[in-house]
Structure 1
Amino acid sequence: MKKLIAGNWKMNGSLAANQTLVQAMLDGLQGVEPMAEMVLCAPSPYLAQLQALLAGSPIAWGSQDVSAQESGAFTGEISAMMLKDFACRYAIVGHSERRQYHAETDATVAAKAQRALAAGVTPIVCVGETLTERESGQTEAVVKRQLAAVIHAVTHCTSEIVVAYEPVWAIGTGKTATPEMAQAVHAVLRKQIAAATQHPERVKILYGGSMNAANAASLLAQPDIDGGLIGGASLKAADFLQIVASAQP
């Protein structure tokens, strides 16, 4: 099974910069069979641009969030069906920045995952512990609680989600979990998924948290790490493509 390398641009980009970045990625893939599946998750105003630039290419596109609501009087929200309109394959849900800055609860994240699946969009469900939680030995309990809420909501569709383990203390800090630390948590999540679905092999578990061109190969070599959710390195074409090249199936 090919690994999945997902770029999360966060709140970065412009029409001109996006065009340059995407074109550089596509140029780098010319005549090359990509080692991994790829997706770029962009701020919602740029989804139409990505659809135009990436249609027919090996790179899929997705959103960084989705509403927990289907439609209605929810000013500023973007529904899963709207994402589907722009042919989004993926939507990130429950990123630690959303949990922290927008007070998203496990229940909210679960509802968002449910909405995405109902519209045929694959949710990339983020889980992860803070530094305080890790230091107090709560890592396993925290990630299992966060994932359990989603499993409970999507029930028989659990095999259709993607999970991303992102230790909060390693996001944008330059700190990275060692491959062994990351693998240990991925193994816990794999066991939890196996207990929840008859097809656990379909669920990719990505590692996010300052994965970059230098450390990607050692992380992606771990048995339960099925790809990466890439922040800063996804804004540099050469780095993103190097991570993809590191992803041996």
Structure 2
Amino acid sequence: MARYLIGNWKCHKSSDSSKEWLDRFDKAYRPQDGLEVIVAPPAVYLESLSFHVKRLQLRHFSLGAQDISPFPRGSYTGAIAADMVKPFASYAIIGHSERRRYFHETVTDLVNKAAEAADVGLTPIICIENGDTLSSLFALKDIDCPGMILAYTPVDSLNFRIPESVARVGVVIKRIANYFPRRPIVYGGALNVDNFREYLEIDGLSGLFTATASLEVQSFSTLCRAMGASL
């Protein structure tokens, strides 16, 4: 099973600084078979950055959307349908805790977004903030998307910028794997260049989901090299 390094830029960077990041990353990046690198910039930059990525010919590197609409195209002001994203991205982050907290999104929204993504060929990255509520995501089992990625992103780690203990993450990863067998599972929550290595040793973990650490080329490249060396 492939390993994944995901970078969520959230609401950061401009169009120019995003392209500059890619140019600098291209110089530091050493692609590794078996490691897929995914960066999710703000949606307004996806189209231009997708052309920039093609120009740089980055291998094992893809763009992802930070969110998509739970609906197809139609009269939904402000929404971005999955098929609008598909020409420029390969993945879509779905159900992030910040979407739930600030935009009051529900589990139903999450499932509908995952279905919309799968229908157009986008790979959903499903955020799970609590390993004790997996049963609420039962409907995901009916979505035909073999590559679906599950991201354990405990909300306290995101809020307080303190990573969850390796032992606790290991327990939850095992629980998720039992509920959703044969799905890649990644961990995200206050990861940085000083603390990420011990998480790579967790049994059943397929990668890392980062935010702040992905904003700077130096830190993100460090994670890339370390994950590539661990294959």
With the shorter chain as reference, the TM-score category is over 0.9
1:193 matched residue in structure 2: 180
1:46 matched residue in structure 2: 45
Q: Is the 8 A contact 1:165 1:207 kept in 2?
A: yes
Taking the aligned partners of 1:60 and 1:122, their CA distance within structure 2 comes to 11
Taking the aligned partners of 1:127 and 1:238, their CA distance within structure 2 comes to 28
Change (3 A) 1:82 1:34: same
**Number of positions where the alignment pairs a residue of Structure 1 with one of Structure 2:** 226
Q: What is the SS of the residue equivalent to 2:202?
A: coil
Are 1:67 and 2:58 an aligned pair? no
1:134 matched residue in structure 2: none
Taking the aligned partners of 1:228 and 1:185, their CA distance within structure 2 comes to 15
Change (3 A) 1:10 1:146: farther
What residue identity is the alignment partner of 1:11?
C
2:167 matched residue in structure 1: 180
- What is the TM-score of this pair, normalised by structure 1? 0.86
Taking the aligned partners of 1:105 and 1:112, their CA distance within structure 2 comes to 11
1:89 matched residue in structure 2: 90
Superimposed CA distance per residue, residues 184-211 of structure 1 (whole angstroms, 9 cap, x where no aligned partner): 10100000012xxxxx1xx210101111
Q: How does 1:124-203 map to 2 (within 5 A)?
A: 124-129=125-130, 140-142=131-133, 144-152=134-142, 154=143, 157=144, 159-171=146-158, 173-194=160-181, 200=182, 203=183
Change (3 A) 1:34 1:28: farther
Taking the aligned partners of 2:140 and 2:100, their CA distance within structure 1 comes to 14
C-alpha deviation, 1:146, in angstroms: 4.3
Taking the aligned partners of 2:16 and 2:86, their CA distance within structure 1 comes to 24
What residue identity is the alignment partner of 2:212?
G
Q: CA RMSD in A?
A: 1.6
Superimposed CA distance per residue, residues 45-95 of structure 1 (whole angstroms, 9 cap, x where no aligned partner): 000122022123122001000111111000111011001122x11000000
- Would you identify which runs of 4 or more consecutive aligned residues in structure 1 move more than 6 Å? none
What residue identity is the alignment partner of 1:17?
S
Q: What is the SS of the residue equivalent to 2:46?
A: helix
C-alpha deviation, 1:158, in angstroms: 5.0
- What is the TM-score of this pair, normalised by structure 2? 0.92
Taking the aligned partners of 1:159 and 1:125, their CA distance within structure 2 comes to 13
Q: Is the 8 A contact 2:4 2:207 kept in 1?
A: yes
Q: Is the 8 A contact 1:123 1:161 kept in 2?
A: yes
Q: What is the SS of the residue equivalent to 1:62?
A: strand
Taking the aligned partners of 2:209 and 2:137, their CA distance within structure 1 comes to 17
C-alpha deviation, 1:180, in angstroms: 1.2
Q: What is the SS of the residue equivalent to 2:63?
A: strand
Taking the aligned partners of 1:22 and 1:217, their CA distance within structure 2 comes to 24
C-alpha deviation, 1:145, in angstroms: 3.0
Taking the aligned partners of 1:51 and 1:17, their CA distance within structure 2 comes to 15
Taking the aligned partners of 2:104 and 2:116, their CA distance within structure 1 comes to 19
